[in-house]
Every structure is written in C-alpha cells, then in structure tokens.
Structure 1
Amino acid sequence: MPDTHDSSSAPEKQRSAAGSDQPRGVGGPLSGVRIVDMSSVVMGPFATMIMADLGAEVIKVEFDRGKVPGDMMRYAGYSPDGKRGPIYMALNRGKKAVTIDASSDEGKAQLTNLLKDADVFFHNVRLAGMKRLGLDYDGVRAIKPDIIYTHCAGYGAGGPYSKRQAYDDLVQAASGFAALEAERSGGDPAYAPSLIADKTVGLFATYATLAALFHRERTGEGQFVSVPMFESFTFFNMVENLYGATFASGNGKLAYTRSVNPRRRPYPTKDGYIAIVPYIDAQWERFFEIGGRPGVFDDPRFSTYEARTQNTGELYAIIEEVASTKTTDEWVIILAEEQIPAMRYNSMEDVLADPHLEAVNFFESRQDDVLGEYRSMQHPVGFSVSPARAGEVPPAMGQDNAILDKD
C-alpha cells in the first residue's frame, strides 16, 4: 500500500496550494535567475514554467517562420487570438517571448547578447543542429563561461537510439509503461491518457537545472546537463515495477502486484464511486466491520501486510462488495469520522468545483485584454519566505522583442 503524507501540521502559509495567504511582494526562490529558453511543445516549457513560477526570468525564444511559426503548442486547441491555445496557456505563463532566426547573423548576435547575461540556456533541440548554429555547449560556454546548459534529449548519448526522435507515445511504449495496461487487463497495451512522459521528464529537467545552479552557487562552475527522456521515464516507471526482478533470487516478475491489479480503481457505490485505501491493520478491520464483513482479517490471506500484498486482487474484490452497500456521501462521512483514508471520485468537471481546491483558490479566473477571461492554476508548492506565484498571461509571439535591441 502507498505511503501517506499528512500536511495538517504544516505552517498555514505552506499548506495553501494556491498560496492565497502568502505575501506577494517577495521574490520567488529563483528571483534574479535568467533563463534563455529555446524549448517547445510540452516537456521543456513545463520545466521552464515551473522555474518562472519560482521567480526566474524566462525568455522564450521562438523561430517565427514556416507553416507553423513558433511553438506548435500555440495552435493546439481553440484560443481567442488563434496563437495561444489551452496547453500553451498552461505551460508558458510568466515568460517573455522573443522571435529570433538563430541561423542568421543578426539572430546569432541577438542570441549572443541574451546569453551574455543568462544563468541557464535550456533547450530540446538536437545537439547536432545546435552545433551547426554554434550553440552547442562549447559555443555557449565561450559566450558565458559559467552557464548552466540544460539539454532535454530523447535518448542518452552512446546508445543506439541516441539520434532518434522521442515523443511521449514513443517513450511510454519503449519504457514499458504502456505494457502496464496489458499486464493489468490481460488485453492490449495502451498509452496513459495523459502526456505523462513529457511532464514527468519536465520535472526531471527542472530539478537537474536547479541542482546545477546550486553547484554553481557553491563552486562558481557552470556545466552541461543532459536530461534524456527515455532513461528518465524508464527510471520513473521502474521504481516500483522492477519489483520481482530486483533480486537475483526473486521470481523475475516485473510490475508491482498492487498497482497492476485490475481491481485497483475507484469502487462503485450505490450512486457513484469512491476511492478507499485503508492503510494500517486497525483501519482495515474497522472498515470491514462497518461494511458488515467482520473477521476478514482472520483469513491468513489478509492477516499481514505481506499476505495482503500477495493477495491484493481478492482483498480488492471484498472492498468492492462492501463499497456497494452505501452511497458515496454516506461513505465520505463515515470514513472521515473513522479516520480511514478515502476520497470522493471526481469527474474531470467535478475537479473544477472541488471544495478543497475552491477553498485554497487553486483555479483562478483571470482577465486579459485580448484573450478575455481565462482560467489559470496557482502554483501548488508553498514557500514561507520566498513564495512562488502563477505568472502573468502567457506571451504573444515576439511581444518582448524590444529587449533584443538592448546592448
């Protein structure tokens, strides 16, 4: 069963997901850090959006030519101006945007000027292409010797895939993640209905960049940071799923038995669904007593943590039977009183009106002169001294080109 975390003892300023009670006049923890960002689509922009929320100045560099000028995510989904779609809006708030043709002499000069004052150069362009432009690590280090050069690669250097392209679907398939659905259902493999590889590896790129900045703060040294998507997501996937192949003496069966069990899902109630996760023995026993099934833990299949792990399917089947005896509201009230971990199942639409998220102002309605009213999410992590903040409206293409004229 999963570990749990109780945030009830955290200071109030840290506990609010939206940070509504945090002071806004203080710069974030990355205040003063400048990031020149040539990444696009999802993985890279997700990482640099987080760093922008943390106070970094992020300058988004786009190439304003061709059939799809700039970041293609500008055009994914409806937007009032046709160039700032929903996913682009979620990934690019709080950034500045400039258009540069890095293949031209003028563009190289403009980019060089930006890099002279940069702390981080961040991109997901193939290194061979960057070398042709003189923007490989050695080229950029010649401009700014202590630069943190973060490259989001598809695959690590030295392997047979190193020159291949990488996308979310490809990495879900190659990492074994798509196989988990086949393991669970006994049917076909499937991709998760989320850009989970892109977003997960974006988090890897975020922490890697921050770690390199920390090293530079202590030593003065810049460095090249490579974040390979395939290896990073395989690492993420295999933390629990290496399982029976961990030890030479193990049974060799991969995938954590609990997570791939077909009954691991919200349980049907009389009128909907609910998530229930009793954790300690006393919670399990009390849950079954409430549900009219006392004595379940007398069964040796369920009497210990190890036994329950080995017989998860049978245990979940009993939970399903018990859950169906009451309405969702009845279960929510009873289980809260008994301090048995449970949460109401939310549809995607329900999440927008979730009472907890409303109380912490997680979703925020904003207004823009061009885009009109739009919905944004507050930064979820709280800092008591240097709060993060959800940045301003994502930039129109080239809206900050004036900074390119500065010496």
Structure 2
Amino acid sequence: MMTGKGPLTGYRVVEFGSNLTAPIATMLLGDQGADVIKVETPAGDQLRGSGDRRAAVSGMGSMFLNANRNKRSIVLDLKHPDDRAVALALAASADVVVQNFRPGVIDRLGLGYEAVRSVREDIVYVSIDGLGRSGPAAGRRVYDIVVQGIAGFAGIQADPVTRKPEVVRNSVTDKVTALFVFQAVTAALLVRERTGKGQHVQVSMLDAALAFLWPETMGSSTLAGGDVEPGGSVAGTRYCYPTADGHIILGFVTSSEFEAVCEVLESPELLDDPRFKTLGQRFANAAELNAVVGDRLLTRSTAEWLARLATVDAVYAPVNWPDDILNDPQVIAAGTVAEYDHPVVGPYRQPAHPARFSATPAGLRRHAPELGADGPAIRAELGSDSEGAP
C-alpha cells in the first residue's frame, strides 16, 4: 500500500454511481489522494458479482475490484427519506459529487445539482449521461455498446475487406468517458480555487466517444462543403497481420518508419511505388498496401519477424493475449502491474496509476471496500446516528 499525500489529498468526492463510468472516474481521483465515498444501494453495485471471483467470497468480483479501489462504501436506500437526508448531508460535506443515473432520476430523488447546491454552494457536481440531455434518445437505457453503435465505433471496426462491422470488445466508451470526467473534475476544482465558485459539469458518453474518435478517424466528416479530396484514414489501415505461425503488429507513419519496414520485408520496390510515397497516399491506398505487406509477412514466423524488426527503427509489437501480458518483459520492467493482498479477496493485481508524480504519488491507498463496510464511520463523521443500515 502506498503512503504519502497525493495531489488531491484533502478533497472529498461522493459517488452516486454504478457499473464503470462513474466508478472508474472516481477511482482515479482516489488514486490521486481524494477521499472517495461510494454510495451503494442495499443490493450493492451490480459489478460486485461480475468478472472472475473466488468461490468463497461474494460481492468482490474482479470487475468491481478493478473499478473501485481507493474508496469507502456506505449503503443508503435513496428511496427512503431518512437515507436521502444522510445522502444530502454527505453531499454537503463533499467537494465533488459524481452521479450517473439516467437523466431526471437523481432530481426526483432530491439529490440533483440544485438540491445539493442549496446545502453546498461551491459544490462541483458532475452528471454523466449516455446520449445527452435532450433529443429523441436522451431518455433511453444506455450501455457502452449503444454508444459504440451511434458514435461509429462499430463501423470503424469493420473488417477492411468484408466490411462487417464489429464492436470494440471492451467497454471503450465507458472508460473514455471516465477519463473525460476525471479531467473535468480537476479542472472544475481549479476554477473553484481561483474563483470560489462551484459549477454543474455535464458529460455525455456520446460527446466523449465522438471527441475521442474525431482526430484521426473522422476526416471525412471534418471538412464541410464541396471540393474535398478524400485522403483515407487510420481506420482503413491494417496493423495486425498474420505471420507463418501467429500474428504481429506492424505500422508506419513517417517515411523513415516505412523505409525501415520495407528493408525488413526485403521489398525496396514499395519505396518507389507512387501509391505509397507519402502518409496521405498510404492512407488513401491502404487496401493495396495492406495486401502487399500481409502477403510478405506470411513467409516467416513471428519470432523471425520480431528479431528482424528489432534491428531497425520500426514500429512493431507482438500480439499479446491477455494471459501473456503479465509476462511481457516491458510490462515487468516498467512496473506497470503490481500485486497486493486484499484482506477479503487475498492476492490480486492492479495496474499502476498512469500519471507518476515525483512529489505527490498516486496509487493504491485503500483496497476496494466490502458493501457498506465504512457506513458507521462515515455516519459518525457526519454526526449521524450510526445505528441501523450501514
């Protein structure tokens, strides 16, 4: 367990959240030292039973562990007036509230922005929604796959040859949104430090997904009007290629990187091919280049290609399956994953916090909590009776 103050030590965050988006955002704030209090229903966050788990331990599935470290848990039934009063008092004690109920639900519970601002005027209040707060689909039930469909992820993932669309096989829009929330909270706190004023921050998964996709994959939607010459995009480029006995990741952006690949492939004729002279031409003619490179890579084993690529300044990588990652020498050397001992679950692993601060370290300070384990202590901090529900 880490010691020392993180960059957000001294701030309190209250999370009315479940699943991935809000919990991951607040977990990252907790990594940086914030006191994160997770408000759960009597049934608990539905992720508690998700993912791998030990047979003798309930309510601590791997998905919950991986989205809820550095938090304390209190159980409140927000449909009950007494528990709503505790929740409002808890929000009044906080610097930040993060919630990801469907639009309108938190207001009906009496815990919306205006209600919380009435008891904590400088609150930073973050509302996360799926598809925005207006429009024909605003009130729909939304999960990651819905946003992937509307925002274009499934289309962009289409096979370059068959054009069969496919979703990204992880909750990419949930996690991208969590990162936007994480940054928005710190920005709003900075504004409060400068002005003394809080604010309501609204983050839509749809907005976050499109902002994430736009720079390099939405070129065809960037220039409005006519007289636009198509230039292709990264989405049309193939990076994962089969070899004689496996697969390899191979890419090239700059001319020198393309030259390095051509040297290793023993295909100098590609350098003189007018279709592939520049990055724009390589994007525009990606299908033809994919085919040529793919045929060449089938002639040798993965190990042979990796050894050859290591001798030049190329962009390449092995294709690690999830079970391979912990044994990757770079992952080990970088200290990207560490093992800890959870008091209930036992030994488990967590990734390092992505930002490594030299003076205010971020990382694991508190294991993911059991359901309601910190309720009595939190109630005591609020001056509430700690009897009854945890």
Q: Same fold (TM over 0.5)?
A: yes
1:39 aligned residue: 17
2:387 is matched with which residue? none
Residue 95 in structure 1 maps to residue 68 in structure 2:
no
1:162 lines up with 2:138 in the alignment = yes
The match for 2:338 is: 364
Q: State the Cα distance separating 1:183 from its structure 2 match.
A: 6.6
Moved more, 392-401 or 309-318: 309-318
Task: Find the counterpart in structure 1 of residue 305 from structure 2.
Answer: 331
Q: Indicate conservation of the 8 Å contact 2:66/2:350, yes or no.
A: yes
Preserved CA contact (<8 Å) 2:232 2:283: no
2:278 aligns to what?
A: 304
Query: What is the CA-CA distance between 1:38 and the residue it aligns to?
Result: 0.7
Aligned to 1:400: 374
Partners of 2:243 and 2:285 lie apart in 1 by 23
Q: Which runs of 5+ in 1 are unaligned?
A: 1-19
Q: Give the 3 Å change call, closer, same or farther, for CA 326–185 of structure 1 in structure 2.
A: closer
Question: Which residue pairs with 2:226 in the alignment?
Answer: 249
**Contact preservation (8 Å) 2:14, 2:36:** yes
- Is 1:77 the counterpart of 2:51? The answer is yes
- Structure-2 separation of matches of 1:238 and 1:153: 20
**Aligned equivalents of 2:170, 2:322: Cα separation in 1:** 13
Deviations for 1:34-87, whole angstroms, at most 9, x for unmatched residues? Answer: 0010110111111111111111110000110xxxx0100001134232101110
**What is the SS of the residue equivalent to 1:249?**
coil
Question: Helix, strand or coil for the counterpart of 1:239?
Answer: helix
Superposed CA offset, 1:180-230 (max 9, x none): 234734344322111111111111111111211111111111000111122
Report the counterpart of residue 382 of structure 1 in structure 2. Answer: 356
1:181 and 1:260 in contact (8 A); partners too: no
Q: Name the amino acid aligned to 2:247.
A: Y
Q: Is the 8 A contact 1:246 1:252 kept in 2?
A: no
Q: TM-score scaled to structure 2, two decimals?
A: 0.90
Partner of 2:216: 240
Q: Tell me, yes or no, if structure 1 residue 280 matches structure 2 residue 254.
A: yes
**C-alpha distance in structure 2 between counterparts of 1:176 and 1:283, whole Å:** 29
8 Å contact kept, 1:61–1:98 = yes
Unaligned runs of 5+ in 2: 384-390
Q: Distance in 1 between matches of 2:232 and 2:7?
A: 37
Amino acid at match of 2:19: V
Measure, in 1, the Cα distance between the counterparts of 2:196 and 2:156: 44
Pick closer, same or farther for the CA change 1:115–1:257 going to 2, 3 Å.
Answer: closer
**TM-score, L = length of structure 1:** 0.87
Partners of 2:248 and 2:319 within 8 A in 1: yes
When residues 189 and 267 of structure 1 are mapped into structure 2, their CA distance, relative to the original with a 3 A threshold, is closer
Larger mean Cα displacement after TM superposition, 293-302 or 180-189? 180-189
Q: Map 1:1-400 to 2 at 5 A.
A: 24-64=2-42, 69-80=43-54, 81-182=57-158, 184-247=160-223, 248-249=225-226, 256-261=232-237, 264-400=238-374
Cα RMSD for the two superposed structures: 2.2
Output the CA distance in 2 between the equivalents of 1:108 and 1:152.
20
Count of aligned pairs = 378
Report deviation, 1:356: 1.1
* 8 Å Cα contact 1:47-1:206 kept in structure 2: yes
Greater relative contact order (CA < 8 Å, ≥ 6 in sequence): 1
